[in-house]
Amino acid sequence: MNNWQNFYFLRHGQTDWNLEGRFQGRSDVPLNATGHKQALNAGLLLKQHPIERIICSPLDRAIKTAKIVAEHISLPVQIDDQLIERTFGSFEGLIISDVKRKHGIDINEPAAKILPTDAEQWSETVKRSREAIGKLLTAAPSENILFVAHHGIFRALTETLCGPGLDSENGTPYRFHSTDGKWAATKVS
């Protein structure tokens, strides 16, 4: 990871399930009107940055976000199945706060503590995310890459590179950058 180049990350725009606070996972929920606006704004913002490749998750919300951004920076969109969101198994579609309350954990605690056995466990998400991003960065060591994916992938990357505690916002681009081997993720402005 210390030999990775800097890169950009964009969480897909908002969906109705994001707005409702539902476990979304691999359910293919489309962008809502706010999500489309967020993707448009991200495209206008990222147009000012030297992005040379866009790689995204195969889920519709990420593809639509990536395509809206791609229109502004005149690049094709490449899909990589390893950037897909983690599955929450039988929790998908349920209200996150209701599930946490039912299982006796605080709303601010990670759901990883209570995931059902049919969900992708957090350690698996972290490993898959790190390997996927690493493979893609290594294959194009001199390119400025924008990854368009999901909150779970973002959290796995920030936890791996920067330490715990950073959450992503829908439709907000971030730049991952390393200085003297220490990584940070900052909002693109």
Enzyme catalytic residues:
12, 85
Q: What angle do CA 97, 11, 54 make, to 5 degrees?
A: 160
Is 8 in contact with 46 (CB distance < 8 Å)? yes
Q: How many residues does the chain have?
A: 189
* CA dist., res. 33 & res. 89, Å (int): 27
Beta bridge partners of 11: 149
Our CA dihedral for 40, 42, 44, 45, rounded to 10 degrees, sits at: 170
CA neighbor of 38 nearest in space, from 63, 9, 14, 8: 14
